Amino acid sequence: MATLSPTAPRLQLTGITKAYPGVVANSDVSLTVLPGETHAVLGENGAGKSTLMKIIFGAVQPDAGQVRVNGKPVHIRNPKEARALGINMVFQHFNLFDTLTVAENVWLGLDKTLSLPEVTTNIQAKASEYGLDIDPSRPVHTLSVGEMQRVEIIRALLTNPQLLILDEPTSVLTPQAVEKLFVVLKKLASQGCSILYISHKLHEIRELCNACTVLRGGKVTGVCNPANESNASLSRLMIGAEPPQLQHTSKPAGNAVMRVTALSLAREDQFGVDLGGIDLQVCAGEVLGIAGVSGNGQKELLYALSGEDRRAPAGSIHMGSTDVSHLPPGPRRALGLHFVPEERLGRGAVPTLSLAHNLLLTRTGSIAWPRLAGGWIRVKAMEDHAQRLISQFKVKAGGPRAAARSLSGGNLQKFIVGREMDARPKLLIVSQPTWGVDVGAAAQIRGELLALREAGCAVLVVSEELDELFEVCDRLHVIARGRLSPSLPRSEASVERIGEWMSGLW
C-alpha cells in the first residue's frame, strides 16, 4: 500500500490522452481527487468516462499524460498494480467468471493469504452490513445482472480501498438499498477513502458528490460542485441542453395483445426463482411496467415470455387468440413480439459482428432487406438500414460496419432498442431500457417508447429505475420472490408504496 501524504491529492491526472482508430477517447484530460472526496465524472455516452476510469485502474494504457497517486508519479500497468496502490473499481460491464462461484470470483481479486472459507465468511459479513444480499456458493452464471453487480461491489469493498471507482453502481438497486449504499459510501469518504463516481442519475450526484468533472467528446468542459447545481444546469454542462420533457397523456387502452394466466414454473437450476401464479395482460396502446429488485424472478419471467423457456403450461401465455406457451422466439416474433434483453453483449448483440450484421439476429424476415434466392443477403441494403438506425437514435459508432463490442454500453443500448422498435412490433418487451444511458439518450428512448404506445403498440417495461417507470407507464406491477403484485394505476403509485411491495408486502 502506498504511503499517504496528508497534503497530496489522492489522485492527480495531467494531460491524459488516449486514441483508438477513428476516435479520440480522451484528449488532454486533467483531474484531481482529494482524500475523502466523492468526485463525480459526468458525461454523455461515448464522452470518454469509461476509458479514463480504465486508465486509472490500469486496464488501459494512456498514449500521453501523467498519473500521480498520493503525490507520487506512477505507471499503472495492470489492475493488480492498481489494487496494490489502493485503487479498486466496480465496472459497469462485469469481470466475473461464469463457471466459478461468487466466493471463488471474489477470492481471485483478494490477497491469497486468506483461505476460501475465510473469504466466504467475509462476503457474508459485508453483504449483511451493506444490505447486498448474495449467496457466496452460487455459480455466477445463475445470477441476474443486478446480483452480479452486488458481487462486484462486495469484492471491491473487501479490499478496503483508498480510491474506489464506481461505474453506475445503483442502476439495479431499490430506493431503500440506494439509501443504504449512500450511507456506506459517505462513511467510507469520512474515513478518508476517495470515491470516483460515474452515474447518469443527476439527483444522486447532487446528493452524494462534493466535486464533479464534466467530459464532452473526450475533453474536460467543466468542473463544479454538484451541490450548487440543478439537474437542468448539470444537463446543460453534460450535453449542452436540457433533456426534452416527455408528454404522457392518459388514454384508454385497447385489446389485450398478450395475456398470461396462472403461469407457474419451477426454477431450471437450484439458484433460480420459482414463478408462482403469474397473471398479467399487456394491452394495445399502453405501457405496463414491472418493478422489483434484481433476482426476484424477472429473468425467469422474461425467458418464458420471449420463448427462450418453452416449459410454460399450455394455455398460460396467449398472444391474441394464439396459445404461444410452447412456441420458440421465432414464431412469437412472427406474431409481432420483439424483445430487448438486459444483457447487451452476448444476448442482445454478438460482440464481434458489425452493427449491420447484428440486425440479422431479429430481422431475418424483414421486408426492408429480404434474402435473395439461394440464401444470399443484400449486405448494402442491410448496411444502409443500420446507418438509418444509427442516425435516428443518435448512436455514436464508426458506421454500420463497426463491431458491436466497439461501442460504449449506452450507445450499444440505443442501437439494440432502436433495432427492435424499428421492427414495428405489436408487443415490445424491454428489460432495463436505459441502464447506463445518459440523460439525453434516456429521454430519447423513453420518448420513443411513448411514441410506440401512441401508435397502438403494447409495451412491457421491466426496470429497476422507479423514476423511469413512473415517467412512461400507465400501470405497474411489482415482482418479488417469483410472484406478481396486483396491477396499480400509475396515479396511485408512490416510491414508498412500490418500495414496500418490492419486499413482497402487498
pLDDT digits (tens, 9 = 90+) for 126-170: 888 777 778 999 999 888 766 887 888 889 889 889 999 998 887
Distance of CA 183 to the CA centre of its chain: 22
Q: Would you say the CATH fold of 254-336+425-446+453-506 matches that of 11-239?
A: yes
Q: 36-68: per-residue pLDDT in tens?
A: 999 999 988 788 998 999 999 999 999 999 999
How far apart are the C-alpha atoms of 214 and 41, rounded to whole Å?
A: 6
Residue 6: CA count within 13 A, CB half-sphere? 0
How far apart are the C-alpha atoms of 164 and 99, rounded to whole Å?
A: 27
Q: What is the 3-state secondary structure (H, E, C) of 347-373?
A: CCECCCCEHHHHHHHCCCCCCCCCCCH
Strand partners, 428: 338, 459
Residue 4 has pLDDT above 60, yes or no: no
How far apart are the C-alpha atoms of 288 and 272, rounded to whole Å?
A: 24
Give the pLDDT of residue 368.
Answer: 46
What residue spans define the domains of the chain? Answer: 11-239, 254-336+425-446+453-506, 345-424
For a pLDDT cut of 70, what percent of the chain falls above it? 94
Q: What distances in angstroms separate CA 149 from CA 2, 98, 487, one per listed residue?
A: 28, 13, 28
Residue 343 has pLDDT above 60, yes or no: yes
Residue 32: band (very low, low, confident or very high) from pLDDT cuts 50, 70, 90: very high
| Mean pLDDT, the chain, integer | 89
Query: Model's pTM, two decimal places?
Result: 0.73
Contact at 8 Å (CB) between 265 and 434? Answer: no
**Of the CATH numbers 3.40.1390.10, 3.30.420.40, 3.40.50.300, 3.40.630.30, which one belongs to the domain with range 254-336+425-446+453-506?**
3.40.50.300
First-to-final CA distance of the chain: 49
What angle in degrees, to the nearest 10, is found between the helix axes of 409-421 and 439-454? 10
C-alpha cell belonging to residue 420: 427492435
Give the pLDDT of residue 6.
Answer: 53
Q: 441-467: per-residue pLDDT in tens?
A: 888 899 999 999 999 999 999 998 888
Among 90-104, 152-166, 176-190, which stretch is predicted with the lowest mean pLDDT?
A: 176-190
Residue whose C-alpha is closest to residue 331's, from 323, 265, 461, 285: 323
Residue 110: band (very low, low, confident or very high) from pLDDT cuts 50, 70, 90: confident
C-alpha cell belonging to residue 435: 441502464
Give the pLDDT of residue 5.
Answer: 47
What is the average pLDDT across 402-411? 88
Q: 296-329: per-residue pLDDT in tens?
A: 999 999 999 999 999 999 999 999 999 999 999 9
Strand partners, 403: 354
Q: What is the 3-state secondary structure (H, E, C) of 411-424?
A: HHHHHHHHHHHCCC
Q: What is the 3-state secondary structure (H, E, C) of 187-250?
A: HHHHCCCEEEEECCCHHHHHHHCCEEEEEECCEEEEEECHHHCCHHHHHHHHHCCCCCCCCCCC
Fold (topology level) of 11-239: Rossmann fold (3.40.50)
